[in-house]
Each structure stands twice: as C-alpha cells, then as structure tokens.
C-alpha cells in the first residue's frame, strides 16, 4: 500500500483478555517502530525492529507485551492479560534503511480496556 | 537517553503571529526531526535537519539546530488556525541501529 496500515483502528476488550494489533509497514522499509500514546501525552517507545538485527525491546513495559515481525514486513504487537492502564493509542511507524530517515506513521489503534 | 524535550509544553497565540517551539536533547545525534500530530492519531513528518546543518526552511517552517547546546527550534511564521496541533521533536542516533526517540511535545493553539 501507499502508507503504513494499522488494524484494527479501534479495539475494545475486557480486562484480562489478550489482544493483537497489526501493522503493515511501507514496502521495503527495514525499520519498524511501535509507540504507545496515552491521552494528551507524548509517544512512549515500545519496540524497534531494524532489518535482520535483534529487536530493541527496551521500551516494553512488562512481559505481557510482545511483538514480532514476520519476513521483515508485517508486525504484530500482542498484549496478554490486558489491564485498564493498557488503554492508549498504539502507533506503528516505518522508515527506510538509511540512517534514521523520516518515519511514516499509521493512524494508530485505539485500545480501550474495560 | 537521547530523548528530546520540547519547550513550552503548551503555546497559545493569535492567528498571524509567529510560534516558536524549542527542543533539547542529551546525546550525540545524526539528525533531528520535527513532526506534527492532529487529533491524537498518526504523526506527520515536517522537516529533518542533519547534525552538520544549522538551519533549514520549508514553506512557513524554519528549523535551527545548535549541536553545541544540544538544542533545536521550530518557528512557524504567520500562523493559521489550521496549524493548531501538537508538535514533537525526534532525535535519531548516530547509527541505523539507534532508534528514533520522541519528546513529550508542544501543544499549539492558534486562535482565529
């Protein structure tokens, strides 16, 4: 596609359930990021994939959070046993292989845990 | 941490005035980027300035970078109501393995 696609755009889930958020980056982009943004706040870094290197998971808030990137393309962020404090907008971005070029963002998934 | 910190956190100006936002960071960088966000959804890239550049222009936007002070500023001239948004600076480390980190942002309100 022409841009970064995220699905679903909105997700309401019950506390304790697992959720999967999907990101389709721009074709050919080697870098992929997941960020979390609570209402009125900045972007909290979660995880970073760059090519075939081991992902930088230093921003994942707990072991309930995990992410994978299959075939260097699509990425899935999984949150297990969701808690109310997980409610936020989850943003995915991708960028090209040149050092730290412009990042292109998806429209995000708004997760609400009830 | 290489994280950028914007200043001020919030800014309210009249249409037609200029808006200046500042960003400070802590470590060596390859470049610094400014993004805009409307309505709490996806960010849009505005401008990228490399560490060997001091000033860059794009339309009504002017960005400066002072690597000795580890700071950058974004100037929006002749602001419009449509410029109302949150603005974030983001710093990229020196290698492609360094993640891009965003600051907390400046919320700009342009009053018609």
pLDDT band at A39 (very low <50, low <70, confident <90, very high): confident
> Contact, A109 vs A37, CB < 8 A?
no
Distance separating alpha carbons of residues A28 and A71, to the nearest angstrom: 11
- Per-residue pLDDT tens digits for B45-69: 999 999 999 999 999 999 999 999 9
Closest C-alpha to B7, from B91, B111, B88, B109: B88
Neighbour count for residue B28 (Cβ, 10 Å): 13
Distance separating alpha carbons of residues B20 and B81, to the nearest angstrom: 15
Kindly state whether A38 is in contact with chain B, defined as any CB-CB distance less than 8 angstroms. no
- Take residue B97 and report the two structure tokens written for it: 């393995």
Which residues on A lie below 8 Å from B4 (Cβ)?
Answer: none
Q: Do A104 and B31 touch (CB under 8 A)?
A: no
Q: What is the mean pLDDT of each run of 10 residues along chain B (112 residues)?
A: 72 96 90 88 90 95 96 97 95 73 91 94
Q: What is the SS3 assignment for A16?
A: coil
Residue A97 has pLDDT above 70, yes or no: no
Which residues on A lie below 8 Å from B101 (Cβ)?
Answer: 45
> Contact, B68 vs B51, CB < 8 A?
no
Name the closest residue on chain B to residue A55, using Cα atoms. B97
Q: Which residue has the tokens 């995000």?
A: A108
């Amino acid at each position: 596609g022409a841009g970064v696609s995220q699905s679903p755009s909105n997700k309401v889930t019950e506390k304790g359930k697992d959720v999967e958020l999907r990101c389709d980056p721009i074709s050919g982009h080697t870098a992929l990021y997941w960020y979390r943004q609570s209402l009125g706040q900045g972007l909290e870094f979660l995880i970073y994939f760059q090519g075939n290197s081991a992902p930088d998971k230093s921003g994942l808030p707990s072991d309930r959070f995990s992410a994978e990137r299959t075939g260097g393309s699509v990425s899935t962020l999984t949150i297990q046993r969701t808690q109310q404090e997980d409610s936020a907008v989850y943003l995915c971005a991708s960028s090209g292989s040149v050092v730290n070029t412009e990042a292109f963002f998806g429209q995000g998934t708004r997760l609400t845990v009830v | 941490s290489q994280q950028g910190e914007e200043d001020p956190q919030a800014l309210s100006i009249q249409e037609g005035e200029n808006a200046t936002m500042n960003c400070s960071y802590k470590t060596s960088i390859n470049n610094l980027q400014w993004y805009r966000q409307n309505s709490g959804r996806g960010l849009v890239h505005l401008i990228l300035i490399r560490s060997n550049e001091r000033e860059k222009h794009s339309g009504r936007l002017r960005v400066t970078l002072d690597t000795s002070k580890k700071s950058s500023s974004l100037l929006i001239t002749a602001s419009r109501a449509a410029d109302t948004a949150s603005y974030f600076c983001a710093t990229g480390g020196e290698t492609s393995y360094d993640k891009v980190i965003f600051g907390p942002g400046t919320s700009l309100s342009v009053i018609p």
